[in-house]
Chains A and B, each alone.
Chain A
Amino acid sequence: MDSPPPIDTDTVLSVNNLSICYKTRKALVKAVRDVSFTIKRGETLGIVGESGCGKSTVSFGIVDFLGANGLITGGSVLFEGQELVGRSQKELNRLRGDRIAMVYQDPMAALNPTVRMGEQLTEVLTSHRDISLPEAKKQCVAMLKRVHMPDAEQVMDRYTHQLSGGQQQRVVIAMAMLNNPSLLIMDEPTTALDVTVEAAVLDLVEDLKRDFNTGILFISHNLGVVARVSDKVCVMYAGQVVEMGRVTELFKKPCHPYTKGLMRCVPKLGTDKAGSKLHPIPGRVPHPLKRPEDECIFVPRCNYSTDKCVQSWPGLYEVLPDHVSRCFYAEKVLKESLKEKTGNDKKAVSADAEEQPDETLLDVDNLKVYYEQQSKSIRSLFGLDEPQYVKAVDDISMEVAKGKTLGIVGESGCGKSTLVKGIIGLEEITDGDIDFLGVDIALPVDERQIETIQDIQMVFQNPDATLNPAYTVGRQIARPIRRFGTVPKNQAKAEVIRLLQAVRLGASYYDRYPRQLSGGEKQRVGIARALASRPDMVICDEPVSALDVSVQAAVLNLLLEIQKMLGTTLIFIAHDLSVVRFFSDDVAVMYLGQIMEMGPAETIYAPPYHPYTEALLSAVPIPDPEAEQKNIRLSGNVPSALNPPSGCRFHTRCPRRSMLPDNGMICETEVPPWRPVSKGHHILCHIPLDELRKIDSVVSAA
């Protein structure tokens, strides 16, 4: 394996035993160790792994753009047969942007805010080739059209902030493709985008690869995205390649405990908590300074490890043709993977076995939350303008049953966060009622009864912001206990420790500061703090979306366990449809401040669908390269909530309007009916249910 593979003309990039270090004040930190892979023309290599595993460092290492303190300490990078390691920056500069192009995560930040798109595009051509400006412009417009950019000519004159996120990423991709590069490096190119936009961008990548015959290095933490675009997949862990193989092979027959662990800790689309279970990987990625050189790096988190694993560093073994794994027990892992595949999941669930009358805990009626928008005209200075409102939540009604979980999904800006802020009293309610256990709570939090405040608590998204860095964990959990007097004062500390144990952290955490905890641990403390007031309902606002997948599973399991134990009612907000499906009893799908469809989880994920739900489901990246998924893409951008479309909010982008007479004229003029489909399942759509029922399921698992 260590000898470089023979170079054939099809190979665009061949990386051999690449090692990269960062100089810090204290020591030389090894970020990437002995990484090898090849990419052929027209082939996509996906690199997956959790944060801190060195994916991005590899991509920068290829073009030696590691900043002042990074350096390549070994190995070679052969690009079209030429060695890149050791070349001067000036020589590399000639390749960058010309033969090797790159696309990065946040397109907003990647584009210069004060330079027009046209100039940013044309300079790629003019600085690499002898080309006149008008000719360069023409080529840029052509390329913008090629990436399906609407109004390509006008876009040339615009600035970054005048484009939507999806359009910005299209510009960046167009910029990368202008010189027809033979290697395209994409580092998390869709992570900052909403799921429907992400799907469209991924389609485009696929498309371009075919047309330009480019080799692509695609980096992502998302197994589903990698499964969709890659031909080959390389799994990285703590700076090393642990497994590599063809995409279908690798997903079907994972041979490394880490790969297998990653797959077992994300819920598959369509599975739920009753029928399946998530298996988190214990522990966390070791710090770069604490990575042993001569033993398997995965040992502390592995349940296959033996003494052998700590005695020597495993090499890459070819377990199957073209499929390597850095594990002494690769064969064993493989065998077990194949076995589990067949006997997995399906626990027989009788859906109506526990058909008890549900007691309603929370009842929301016609809730509206509007914000006043500052007008920009001079007239408004004198109070002459009509005030304008952002209708963040517009006329929402729903019920949450005691002890159940309501999942809310929707893309960014759909109003899901505003909705829960309204419920918890952090946002002033414009109109409507919220009834909690028979008490009207449509009030800001400082006007509510202390019992109501105590009964509704919240778990937050960002682990780094959820705890106050100035105080110890113990003090932060004790605060709600003291404030609401849940236990006598002298027992507060015991209660805190009890809560810490309930979230699977020991008493030793009492005196720690948040900066000493990992992301997952912080989320657990956040959960403990929310539970400290013994609430009836906990609102979870994307509690796992900022966590690595392996940690995600552990936190989800914890929430489930606590709900089972305490009977807490949960409202669970997420943008990941698989997670919501797995976690929730009922699901509401939101779009532009309204609920499009609501019902028991299993009914949302099966026909009949609301057209928006259908589009969302068809966009979800599924970590299974063999799953068949309908290709429905939404056109245009999400309209402004300042002036939402008349009639049906979704009519401007609905792909199913043609199912109605006159191409859905009615959608533009009339608010659709809230049609009951089955018990508790409603769809807000003009299309008759019988028509909707005719539509096939979006996903058919292989």
Chain B
Amino acid sequence: MLKFIVRRFFLLLLTMFLVSIAVFLIVESSPGNVAKNVLGAFITPEQEASFLAQTGLDKPVYIRYLYWLIGSDWHGEMKMDMELQRITTEDDYLEWWALREDGSLVRWKLEGDDLFATVKSPDGKVRTELDNDRWTTNDQGISTFWGVDHQNHVVKWEKGTDEKVWTFIAGSGWMETSGGPTRYIPLKKGFIRGDPGVSLRTGRPVSKSIFIRLRNSLVLAGIAFVIVMPLALFLGIIAGLKEGSFKDRFLSISGMMFSVIPEFATGIFLILIFSYWLNLLPGATVFGELAPWQRPDMLILPVLTLTLIELGYVLRITRSSMAEVMRAPYIRTAFLKGLPYWRVVFRHAVRNALIAPITVIMLHVNWLMGGIVIVEVVFGYPGLGQYLLNSALYKDINALEAGTMIMVLIAVGTQLIADIIYTFLNPRIRYS
């Protein structure tokens, strides 16, 4: 049994690895242009090239994958032959600095042919000094230097080139400078070290915005889950107790209808009924960074939509499992032992009937996430699903990868939990 779980765990890691590669390759091979998405349709080829170089998007796909997965700071350190450090500033920005032997941090700026070092000593004081000793000159007489710039790249400066750099600053537009670096390594720690990178769409670290979105989605799914589970299991057992009875037919057919109608259609029906005709509830959610529980009335319709869909599904699974168990010979034995009806149902039937649905339900989490995406779009709910959809449409690779990994982790993780619960519930596996 332990072997089984360990095996599943390795499988989980493998799945995540494969999926992350797949996403990278698919997004890579797709038509469309991130630069145009970010900067608008009217950029010049030079501007585009400069943008791609700065974001690292000009590098071959395997390098980008490697940077994304395990980070790029090690590569920068190799080039610079200095240690790199990431710090969080007081106003919550992430900055990369190189570490000098004396313990102070340093990064550089090129002005004309002069290299200026910005030094931050351990006590927090910052000063700027001329640092031209660092140039190395090769056979052709070209002086170069690998250092950290002010935009979190490890860069290669070359003395005397006329490299133009366009920097896009949100709010103020393009800034053109010349004499810029010839090569960039955008610095990040890599996904497995907890850094999913910066969103191309918002320019903010993915980890920050995704957290709020994830919280919102979990609130939505959590409420639905807490309502659905007991209700669906109960109704499923009731329906399965007497196969073919009116109660059974009513519950299974309505369950089927709820579970197969697409979420957006259910959502539209509910909006029309409750907010358009009855005018009882808000038909859309409008809270920005606010927590969803500050407007509970806006949660009702999204939760109801999710609940209906999941309720139907879980009910039907439970029902068929219960019906099957009620036909089993050991239930006949229990009746022929003269046990009271409810004892047979609770002691003998329910336990066996719940083994199958619990695993199936856990596997269904996968499907539930699809439902959440749609429900979020229908109601304009600011959750992970919408974030993911927008990132996908935008080809915002870092955000997309991070969202994907979270979803896959949840999906595969619940499967792992389902397996563990299953082995726990089923003595045949537990004791073998």
CB of A96 within 8 A of CB of B337, answer yes
Is B410 close to A, CB under 8 A? no
Check B343 for interface membership: any CB of A closer than 8 A.
yes
Chain A residues whose CB sits within 8 angstroms of the CB of B334 once the complex forms: 112
Q: Which of A121-129, A356-364, A684-692 has 4 or more CB atoms under 8 Å from chain B?
A: A121-129
Tell me if B337 and A110 are in contact (CB < 8 A): no
Q: Is the CB of B330 within 8 A of A95?
A: no
Give the distance to chain B from A503, nearest Cβ to Cβ, in Å. Answer: 37
Interface residue B351 (Cβ < 8 Å from any Cβ of A): yes
* Given known A104-B329, A113-B352, contact A96–B336 (CB-CB < 8 A): yes
* Chain A minimum-CB-distance residue to B244: A68
Given A112-B352, A159-B427, answer yes or no on A377-B339 (Cβ-Cβ < 8 Å).
no
A378 beta carbon closer than 8 Å to chain B: yes
Which of B6, B7, B348 sits near A115, CB closer than 8 Å? B348
Contact with A along B325-336 (1 / 0, CB 8 A): 000111011111
Contacts A94-B338, A378-B6, A380-B3: A110 and B431 contacting too (C-beta < 8 A)?
Answer: no
**B390 sits at the interface (CB 8 A):** no
Contacting residues, chain B, for A102 (C-beta < 8 A)? 336
Q: Is B170 an interface residue (CB 8 A)?
A: no
Q: Is the CB of A113 within 8 A of B431?
A: no
Q: From known contacts A113-B428, A376-B432, infer whether A127 and B338 are also in contact, taking CB-CB under 8 Å.
A: yes
Residue of B nearest to A105 (CB): B329
Docked complex: B385-432 residues within 8 A CB-CB of A:
425-428, 431-432
Contact between chains at B3 and A161 (CB < 8 Å): no
A109 CB-CB contact with B under 8 Å: yes
**Is residue B347 contacting chain A, with contact meaning CB distance below 8 A?**
yes
For A422, the chain B residues whose CB sits under 8 A away are none
Chain A residues near B352 (CB-CB < 8 A): 112-114
Are A115 and B347 neighbours in the complex by a CB distance under 8 Å? yes
Interface range, B side: 20 to 34
Q: Are A127 and B343 in contact (CB under 8 A)?
A: yes
| Given A115-B348, A159-B431; A63-B330 close (CB under 8 Å) | no
Interface size on A, as a range, is: 20 to 34
CA A124 to CA B339, docked complex, whole Å: 7
Residue A93 lies at the interface, judged by CB distance under 8 Å to chain B:
yes
Given contacts A159-B427, A162-B431, A381-B6, contact A96 B335 (CB under 8 A): yes
Chain A residues positioned under 8 Å from B426 (CB to CB): 113-114
B1 contacts which of A63, A109, A110, A376 (Cβ < 8 Å)? A376
Q: Does A507 sit within 8 A of B, measured CB to CB?
A: no
Q: How far is the CB of B284 from chain A (nearest CB, A)?
A: 47
What mask results when residues 105 to 143 of chain A are scored 1 for a CB within 8 Å of chain B, else 0?
A: 010011111110001000110011000000000000000
Question: A247 interface residue, CB < 8 Å from B?
Answer: no
Contact partners of B99 in chain A: CB under 8 A: none
B78 within 8 Å of A by Cβ? no
Cα distance, A102 to B425, chains bound together (Å): 29
Binding site secondary structure of chain B: helix
Contact B338 A376 (CB under 8 A): no
Counting CB contacts under 8 A, is B41 at the interface?
A: no
A575 to chain B, nearest CB (A): 23
- CA of A97 to CA of B355, assembled, Å: 28
Task: Give the complex CA separation of A127 and B428 in angstroms.
Answer: 27
Check: B2 CB closer than 8 A to any chain A CB: yes
B173 at interface, CB cutoff 8 A? no
Question: Closest approach, in angstroms, between the C-beta of A425 and any C-beta of chain B?
Answer: 32
**Contacts A93-B338, A123-B343, A124-B337; A381 near B3 (Cβ below 8 A):** yes
Q: Residue B288 at the A interface, CB < 8 A?
A: no
A-B contact count (CB 8 A): 86
Complex Cα gap A567–B339 (Å): 61
When C-beta atoms are compared, the residue in chain B nearest to A375 turns out to be B3
CB distance from A462 to the nearest CB of B (A): 21
Within 8 A of B (CB), among A158-201: 159, 161-162, 172, 175
CA distance A111 to B330 in the complex (A): 5
Asked if B337 contacts A123 (CB within 8 A), the reply is yes
Mask, A303-345, CB within 8 Å of B = 1, is: 0000000000000000000000000000000000000000000
Q: Please give the distance in Å from A106's CB to the nearest CB on chain B.
A: 7
* Beta-carbon nearest neighbor of B5 in chain A: A378
Residues of B within 8 A of A175 (CB): 337
CB <8 Å contact, B335 and A110: no
| A65 lies within 8 A of chain B by Cβ | yes
Q: Is the CB of B329 within 8 A of A106?
A: yes
Q: Which A residues lie within 8 Å of B431 (CB)?
A: 159, 161-162
Chain B's nearest CB lies how many Å from the CB of A180? Answer: 14
- Write out the residue numbers on chain A whose beta carbons fall within 8 Å of the beta carbon of B335: 65, 93, 96
CB of A159 within 8 A of CB of B428, answer yes
- List residues of chain A with CB within 8 A of the CB of B328: 109
Asked whether any CB of chain A lies closer than 8 Å to the CB of B124, the reply is: no
Inside 8 A of B427's CB, which chain A residues have their CB? 113-114, 159, 161
Nearest to B352 among chain A residues (CB) is: A114
Q: Which chain A positions have C-beta within 8 A of B343?
A: 123, 127
| CA distance in complex: A616, B338 (Å) | 38
Q: How far is the CB of B45 from chain A (nearest CB, A)?
A: 53
Return the contact of A109 from the options B329, B348, B355, B432 (Cβ within 8 A).
B329
Q: Which residue of A lies closest to B327 (CB)?
A: A67
B60 within 8 A of A: no
Contacts of A624 in B (CB 8 A): none
| C-alpha spacing A68/B228, complex, angstroms | 32
User: Are A93 and B340 within 8 A (Cβ)?
Assistant: yes
The answer on a CB contact under 8 Å between A110 and B330 is yes
> Is there an interface contact between A111 and B348, defined as CB atoms closer than 8 Å?
no
Partner of B338, one of A95, A106, A111: A95
Say yes or no: A114-B355 contact (C-beta < 8 A), given A97-B338, A381-B3.
Answer: yes
Minimum Cβ distance to chain B for residue A686 (Å) = 36
Which of B335, B336, B339 has most A Cβ within 10 Å?
B336
Whether B336 lies near A63 (C-beta < 8 A) is: yes
Q: Which residues of A contact B347 (CB under 8 A)?
A: 115, 119, 123
Instruction: Count chain A CB atoms within 10 A of each CB in B2, B338, B348 and give the residue with the most.
Output: B338
Question: For chain A residues 66-103, which have a beta carbon within 8 Å of chain B?
Answer: 93-98, 102
Residues of B within 8 A of A106 (CB): 329
Whole-angstrom distance between the Cβ of A110 and the nearest chain B Cβ:
5
A103 nearest CB across to chain B (Å): 9
Closest B residue to A113 using CB positions: B428
CB distance from B209 to the nearest CB of A (A): 39
Chain B residue with the shortest CB-CB distance to A178? B337
Contact B338 A377 (CB under 8 A): no
A492-517 toward B: CB 8 Å interface, digit per residue (1/0)? 00000000000000000000000000
Q: A63-B336, A123-B337, A127-B343 are in contact. Are A112 and B348 (CB under 8 A)?
A: yes
Determine the distance from Cα of A155 to Cα of B332 in the docked complex, in whole angstroms: 22
The residue on B at minimum CB distance from A112 is B330
Is A97 touching B337 in the complex (CB atoms < 8 A)? yes
Q: How far is the CA of A505 from the CA of B348 in the complex (A)?
A: 49
Chain A residue with minimal CB distance to B425?
Answer: A114
Task: Let me know if B336 and A113 touch, CB within 8 A.
Answer: no
What's the nearest-Cβ distance from chain A to residue B122, in Å? 47
Contacts of A172 in B (CB 8 A): 333
State the CA gap A124–B428 with chains docked (Å): 24
Nearest residue (CB) in B for A95 is B338
Residue numbers in A under 8 Å from B337 (CB-CB): 96-97, 123-124, 127, 175
Interface hub of B1, B335, B425 (most chain A Cβ within 10 A): B335
Point out the residues of chain A lying under 8 angstroms from B333, CB to CB. Answer: 104, 110-112, 172
Contacts of B340 in A (CB 8 A): 93, 127
Closest chain B CB from A113 CB (angstroms): 6
Contact (Cβ within 8 A) B329 A97? no
Q: List 7 A-B contacts (CB under 8 A).
A: A93-B339, A111-B330, A113-B426, A114-B351, A114-B426, A114-B427, A123-B343
6 closest cross-chain pairs (CB), A and B: A97-B338, A97-B337, A96-B338, A109-B329, A112-B330, A159-B427
Other A-B contacts than A65-B335, A96-B338, A175-B337, 5 sampled, CB-CB below 8 A, are: A96-B336, A97-B339, A104-B332, A114-B426, A123-B347
| Partner-A contacts on B (CB < 8 A) | 1-3, 6-7, 328-330, 332-340, 343, 347-348, 351-352, 355, 425-428, 431-432
